[in-house]
Every structure is written in C-alpha cells, then in structure tokens.
Amino acid sequence: MTAITASMVKELREKTGAGMMDCKKALGETNGDLEAAVDYLRTKGLAAAAKKAGRVAAEGMVADYVGNGVGVIAEINSETDFVAKNEEFQQFTTDIARIIASENPADVDDLLQKPFGDGNTVAETLTQKIAKIGENMSIRRFNRMQGQNVATYIHMGGKIGVIVNLNGGDGELAKDLCLHIAASNPQFLDQSSVDPEFIAREEAVFTAKAQEEGKPEKIIANIVKGQVSKRLKDVCLLNQPFVKNPDLSIEQLLKEKGASIVAFSRFQLGEGIEKKECNFAEEVQQQVQGLR
C-alpha cells in the first residue's frame, strides 16, 4: 500500500479543486495513483477535470518570436513573479526565443550549448543571470515552427503562449486562430488525432459515473457514447465553435478561408510544475497525519 503524502494530496487538490479530505480519500482508493485519483473524483462528481486549469505552479513567462517564416514560443521559469517582471529577465526570454528561431536546436539540452551572442553559450549566460538576479531560472520547453503562415500570440503578459502553422489563409486568420486556441485550449487537432488512451480513459470515467448514478446497465453504453462524443467536440480544435463567431466551427472557418492547420501548440506557464507553498503543505500534512 502506497503511503499518501502531503505533497500528493496538495497536487491532486491543485489539479481538481476538490476538497482536501476528498483528495486524501481518492488517493487512498487508488493506491496513490494521481491520474486514477483524478478519474475517481470525476466519477464521484467532485472534480471538473475536463475543464481544469489548475493553479499556476511556477513563475516566469512564455516568450515568442516570429520572423522569416519561422515562429517560436518558449517557456522560461523563475521562482517568483517579481523576477518574471524584471526587465533583464524579460529580455533574456526574448533573446532565447530569437536564438531558437535562428539556431533550430533539437531540444533544450541542445539549446543550452548554442552561442548566446555574448561570447558564452546559452548555458553559461543562464548561469550568470541566475547569479546576478539571485534566483533559480530554467529554460523548460519550446516549440519552433516554420511554414507558409506562422503566427504566435502571448496572453496575460506571458502566462499563455500559442503558435500556429497555417497553410493558406492570411496573417489575420492565423492570429485569430492563436486567440481562439488561447481561449479554448484544444488538446487535439481533430478526432482522428485523438490518443486512443484518452478515449479509453474518458469511456472508463463516464461508465463509472453512470454506474455511480444508478443508470440501467442496458443504456449505459449509449450514455457513454454520447458523452464521449461531446467530450471530443470540446477538445478537438476543428470541432470547436470559433470564439469570434460561435455559429462557425473552426473547420468551417478554415474551409471558408481556403486554409488548413499544419500544427499548433499552446503553453500555459507552469502547467504541471508544483510550486512550493510551505504553509499550505504544512496544513495538508497535519490533516493527513490526523487521518492515520
């Protein structure tokens, strides 16, 4: 039996918004499996995981760069929002996005070995910035796209970054799609690109929920089919209603404009990274210990 720790309860609470005791119980029922605990809470109607955003778990910003048919979004993290608002930090993130565009690194490790432009590598310059600013910083991830019509969009001063690679259309359409993706947070392009594991997981959740609600077994399959179909429409970009004109789906919008989406990516600052909150952790630890 896996021991349920304060940090596990805290992470589940942040992911789902469910109560502390419900999170503790869910982890106990699922032997500490975080994703299974999320599904358990959804089954019980205690978490709206399908629409979860979670609290931002790290500071910093998402920066972008567009030029010569190349676009980049990059997430650079800092420990505090105070540093994220520092002009030197912001300039550093802009420089990193530019280097990614020009050097086309394979991954973050490769990027760290590229020349920064001051006689040092990116890794060496990063180390110098950490020493000067006095706070840990890291280059977490990036996405670089090159094509006929590439656009980026940064929302809320770097809290969300979007990049779209479009065939056909124009710059205005590409920007509109970036805005839409920032607002609607699609997970897949269309239903053909949905991960089979995602569908299996949704089916399992909706089946368990129907059983929990006492639905007759003979109609559960049809209920689940309908709920999964609705869920796929929510998470697939082409099926979503266009935020600027909900009467049009994104698929219809693209058809009208004679365009197609090659690829897209959306970064939300700090998603999946746990932020240290000592007081809250201590509170959870006390609660967990009290239940043992």
Q: pLDDT of 176-191, one tens digit each? A: 999 999 999 999 999 9
The rounded distance, in Å, linking the Cα atoms of 82 and 60 is 9
Query: What pLDDT is recorded for position 118?
Result: 76
Q: What is the pLDDT confidence band of residue 53, given thresholds at 50, 70 and 90?
A: very low
Find the helix or strand (DSSP H, E) in which 184 lies: helix 171-184
* Average pLDDT score over the chain: 88
Of 188, 221, 190, 185, which is closest to residue 206 (Cα–Cα)? 221
The rounded distance, in Å, linking the Cα atoms of 84 and 275 is 15
Q: Is the pLDDT of residue 51 over 70?
A: no
Q: Where does a domain end: 138, 169, 200?
A: 169
- The DSSP call for residue 43 is H
Query: What pLDDT is recorded for position 134?
Result: 78
Q: Where does a domain end: 125, 142, 169?
A: 169
- H helices within 185-247, ranges in order? 196-212, 217-235
140 contacts 103 by C-beta, under 8 angstroms: no
Q: List residues bridging with 267 in a β-sheet.
A: 161
Q: What is the pLDDT confidence band of residue 166, given thresholds at 50, 70 and 90?
A: very high
How many domains does the chain fold into?
2
Q: Is 153 a member of any domain?
A: yes
The rounded distance, in Å, linking the Cα atoms of 98 and 66 is 8
Query: What pLDDT is recorded for position 49?
Result: 40
Q: Is 150 a member of any domain?
A: yes
For range 132-144, the mean pLDDT: 89
123: left (phi over 0), alpha (psi -120 to 50) or beta: alpha
106 contacts 100 by C-beta, under 8 angstroms: no
Query: What pLDDT is recorded for position 276?
Result: 54
State the virtual CA torsion across 198, 204, 210, 216 in degrees, nearest 10. 130
Same domain, 66 and 163: yes
Of 201, 257, 209, which is closest to residue 232 (Cα–Cα)? 201
CA angle 290, 291, 292 (to 5 degrees): 95
Q: Where does a domain end: 149, 169, 189?
A: 169
Of 135, 111, 109, which is closest to residue 122 (Cα–Cα)? 111
Same domain, 17 and 67: no
Q: What is the pLDDT confidence band of residue 281, given thresholds at 50, 70 and 90?
A: low
| pTM tops 0.75, yes or no | no
Q: Is the pLDDT of residue 283 over 70?
A: no
Q: Is 223 a member of any domain?
A: no
Same domain, 27 and 75: no
